[in-house]
Amino acid sequence: MTEIIDGNAVASTLREELTGCVETLAAADERPTLATVLMSEDPASETYVSMKQDDCEEVGIGARDVTLDADAPAEDLFEVVDDLNNDDDVNAILVQSPVPDHVDYREVLERIDPMKDVDAFHPENVGRLVAGYPRYKPCTPHGIQRLLAAADVDTEGKDAVVVGRSRIVGKPMVNLFIQDAPGGNATTTVCHSRTDDLAAKTREADIVVAAAGVPELVDGSMLEEGAVVIDVGINRVEAEDGDGTTLVGDVDFESAKEKASAITPVPGGVGPMTRAMLLYNTVKATSLQTDTAVEL
C-alpha cells in the first residue's frame, strides 16, 4: 500500500506547535514579527504574500506589509530593507521574488540582515548551511526533511537523487541530505538539465526529490520499486478535459504511485510545508535575537 504523505496534516501539527512557541515569546514581551516586502504587480506574488500574512495571523505572529511600486527605483527597496534591518520590532524579513528586472535580486539578498533572513538566502546563511552549521534552513528543503521524518523515512545510508540544482530547492536539499545530522547522511546525487540519462539515476534512488519545474518529468518507469517520492513541482497546465487549467507536479502521480512506497501529492504535499517552515524560521529568528528559549 503506497503511503500518500499528507503535507497539510504535517504542516497543521507544526503550526500548532509554533502557536505554543509564539505564546511563550509573547509572554516574554517578544512576539515575533515578519515583514514581507512586495515590489511587483504580479497577481501570483500578491497572493503568496497575502497567504504568508494569513499564516502569520493564524499562529499569532505579527505581520508587517510593505508594498512598493514595481517601477520604483531600486534604491527605494534598499532603503526599505535597511529600515527593516534597523527596526527592533521586526524579527524576520522576506522580500518576495521575483523583483523587477531593474533591481539586482542578489544585492537585495545580501542587504538583508542575516539574522532576519528567514528565507536563508543570504550568502552568510548559505555558507553556514554548506559548512554544516546552519542558522536557518531554507523553507522548502527543510519542509521536505520534516515530511520524510513524519513518514518515518530514515535518510541515513539511503541513496537520494535530487532532480534540480536551484538556489532555493535543489542545492540546499543536497546540502541537507549530506549533513551528518538527522534527516541527512544520505548518499546524494544531484541531477539537472545536462544530466545524461536521468532515468538511470532516479532508478537507483531510494528517495527521489523532483524539483525541476517540468510537468510530470518523473514517471513510474523511472523509479525503483518502493522508492520514496517527493514532488516539489508546481506547474499550471491545461486541464485534460480542456476546461481551464490545473496544477500538476514534476512527478506523474498515477504511474509513480504504483511503484512508490510513499509519495507526496500536488497540491497538498511540499507546498504547505514550505509555508509552515517560514513561520518556523520566524519563530527561531525571534528566539535567537531575544535569547528567549522556545522548544523548536
C-alpha cell at 159: 541513496
Which region among 51-59, 88-96, 121-129, 210-218 touches ligand NDP (by CB under 6 A)? 210-218
Of all helices (H) and strands (E), which one includes residue 136?
none
Figure out which of the listed residues 165, 201, 259, 284 binds ligand NDP, where binding follows CB under 6 A: 165
Nearer to ligand NDP, 90 or 251 (CB): 251
- Say whether 52 is catalytic: yes
The 109-148 contact track toward ligand NDP, x by CB under 6 A, reads -------------------------------x--------
C-alpha cell at 292: 528567549
Q: Collapsing DSSP states into helix, strand and coil, what is residue 8?
A: helix
- Say whether 179 is catalytic: no
C-alpha cell at 31: 512576539
Q: Amino acid identity, residue 210?
A: A
- Say whether 96 is catalytic: yes
Q: Which of 231, 226, 219, 224 is nearest to 268 (CA)?
A: 231
223 binds ligand NDP (CB under 6 A): no
Residues in the chain: 296
Number of residues located near ligand NDP, criterion CB under 6 A: 26
C-alpha cell at 255: 504511474
195 binds ligand NDP (CB under 6 A): yes
Q: Is 93 annotated as a binding residue?
A: no
Of all helices (H) and strands (E), which one includes residue 228?
strand 228-231
170 binds ligand NDP (CB under 6 A): yes
CB 230 within 8 A of CB 267: no
CB 207 within 8 A of CB 179: no
Nearer to ligand NDP, 206 or 231 (CB): 231
The catalytic residues are: 52, 96, 119
Question: Footprint of ligand NDP on this chain (CB under 6 A)?
Answer: 140, 163-166, 168-170, 191-195, 198, 211-214, 217, 232-235, 270-271, 274
